[in-house]
Amino acid sequence: MSTQLENLEPKALWQHFAALNAVPRPSKKEERVIKFIQDFGNSQGFDTITDEVGNVIIRKPASPGMEDRQTVVLQSHLDMVHQKNADTDFDFNSQGIEMYVDGDWVRAKGTTLGADNGIGVATMMALLTSRDIAHPPLECLFTIDEETGMTGAMGLKGGLLKGSILLNLDTEDDRELTIGCAGGVDVTATGSYNQEKIPFDFEGYRISLTGLTGGHSGMDIHLGRANANKLMNRILYQATHKLNARVYSIDGGSLRNAIPRESFAEIAIPEINMPVFEQFMEKQAEILKAEYALTDPHLQLQAEVIDLPSAAISYDFQNQVLRALYACPNGIYRMSPAIEGLVQTSNNLARVLVKDGTYTVQCLTRSSVDTEKFDLAQAIQSTFELAGASVTQKGSYPGWTPNPDATIVKTMSTLYRELFQETPHVNACHAGLECGILGTNYPNMEMISFGPNITGAHSPDEKVQISSVQKFWNFLLETLKQIPAAEPVASKA
């Protein structure tokens, strides 16, 4: 465990967070972290079960005097987004996250931190190991694969959970009580293309667009940050039309739920146009740095000479794919007319890979209105079908309809005002939370989501605020004390 974290408060929470972060836990490869949680639950002597998809449930009886209270489900996801800076030498499959304290924040060295949703997981572990915290009966639900499809929540069957209240610990602003979220669907375009040899009087270049801020494609989509895939396409489109450039490959973005931070392309320029190309690149760098000076201050655009690759994208397909990428919607599509400041519908052009005769384009389309989500997804599908791609829509998950009149919402809102002398923001978010999915099999369960301040989620800039974790922890403990008694079961005549 990092010596910088061992004395942070609450100690049990940070100790469990450090232990968790020593376990590699990428989405869809959670075998090690599932075993870690299973071993943890069994070592504590609690009822520990694992369902058929890999979700783990650990049950803890109520503390003395609270046996009559309603059972509370605490829920967080085990997987984390794996992102690192290009110059960081790190293997997510074998290394634990390297953490350090930076003032009032905990950060990672060149990688994502895993506070999303590791702080929630560690919080649940701290409650399970506590001996002096007052709490009602607890069911701690550790779901898998939240970040790449929410298949854990989707696979959780009805009847496994007995609780009537669910506290989701996956929100990233300690002033917010989230009571609704967006749904999403993955739109993926794939296909093949012909390649052509390029004359020898061309020069090869590798274009690198790096240093963008990136971030969460739901929570940060309204901040106007640059999308590396859109900017690279803009550069390539102009280079092909102004300088007769030929494209060999494009490789941009990584994860569907992360705003792309980097993109790389290999191209060829006629030797006669090389001086003009270098001037063109300098001008493009100047333009992009000016446009994104506030949101992406570390943006870098560079071109280096490389050996001329053997074959380029055919001329016809080059025109088709660059036009399709240009036309693909990205960012905010519509703001909510009902909730001020809430993004209702958006798209993230997350991944572009064009290489060696095949191509893949991945988008994550989000909306709190399912019909609008599928309408935008169909518009994206149509765009790429016009370019000859095969397009699928998969992994759709529902949004979570707000219920501001739920008892737990009123209880926690009142308690927040009493504890912190301010009114919380009770709202919905544009991220995908598992509550909407869980609610399909547990429609009568009251739900709310909250958490500490986490910034830069899904990027190597991710950090969690130490003082905010303390605030969140105390708020949770006081909330557990306020859980009302369970309704008496009617006796049979």
Nearest to 26 by CA among 106, 85, 98, 92: 92
Q: Residue 280: in which H helix or E strand, if any?
A: helix 274-291
- Please say if 146 is a catalytic residue: yes
- Token output for 218: 């739901």
Residue keyed to tokens 């079908």: 385
Residue keyed to tokens 């942070």: 8
Q: Render 385-440 in DSSP notation, one character per residue.
A: HTTT-EEEEEEEE--B---TT-HHHHHHHHHHHHHHSS--EEEE-SS--THHHHHH
C-beta separation of 130 from 480 below 8 A:
no
Catalytic hit among 30, 139, 146, 296:
146
Which residues lie closer than 8 Å to 297 by C-beta, 6 or more apart?
Answer: none
- Please say if 186 is a catalytic residue: no
- Token output for 421: 């002398």
Indicate the DSSP class of residue 362: E
Catalytic hit among 30, 79, 176, 296:
79
Angstrom distance (rounded) from CA 302 to CA 282 = 8
Return phi, psi of residue 149, to 5°. 140, -10
Angstrom distance (rounded) from CA 140 to CA 167 = 10
The residues annotated with a catalytic role in the active site are: 79, 146
